[in-house]
Amino acid sequence: MPFSNWVIGVALAFMAGSAMAQAQGEPPSLAFDLHLHCLGATSVVGEGPVSADDPMLVDITGDRGRIRVPHIMRHPGGDEGWRPMRDIKLDEHLITGHFWMSPWNRPSVVIDRVTGRIALAGFRGFGFHGDCLPYDANAAQKF
């Protein structure tokens, strides 16, 4: 199975499980702060899986979130900043949402709260999968 199909399949399976879990009861509260540092491999149109040389960062505070993708996934000459996450949902096992990379590319994000795995799937094989660890957003800068 091609890499991009695998990433999309995993993301869809996680989102389906999340939707079923939320349909069974009230969605959990989003009253928490989460700051993740994720390392893994990317897939970009025209390239195969490539190890990211910088992390994907995810910050969720309350019902708001933002994401910063690795440099290799950004458009040449594009901004270096954060992108807001939309439609953030969580259950006991998953956090899901999406963000805009461009008008035609709105990747979905699925984070497994138990294993720490992240899967991002977007337009034409655009994706990322890897492992996340929490980081301290209030830590002193190294330099």
94-108: per-residue pLDDT in tens?
A: 999 999 988 888 999
Per-residue pLDDT at 15 = 47
Rg (the chain; Cα; Å): 15
Per-residue pLDDT at 114 = 95
Query: Do 97 and 65 meet the contact criterion of CB atoms below 8 Å apart?
Result: yes
Query: Residues with Cβ < 8 Å from 51, sequence gap 6 or more?
Result: 40, 41, 42
Per-residue pLDDT at 19 = 46
Q: Which of 98, 116, 41 is nearest to 72 (CA)?
A: 41
Per-residue pLDDT at 7 = 44
Q: How far is CA 52 from CA 41, 78, 91, 105, 127, in A?
A: 5, 18, 28, 20, 11
b/e code 110-134 from CB counts within 10 Å (16+ = b): bbbeeeebbbbbbeebbbbbbebee
Give the up-direction half-sphere exposure of residue 82: CA atoms within 13 A in the CB hemisphere: 11
d(CA 32, CA 93): 15
What is the SS3 assignment for 27? coil
Where do the domains of the chain lie?
3-22+29-134
Per-residue pLDDT at 133 = 95
Expressed in angstroms, the distance from the first to the final Cα of the chain is 44
d(CA 61, CA 33): 4
What is the SS3 assignment for 3? helix
Which residues in the chain show pLDDT less than 70? 1-31, 44-48, 77-79
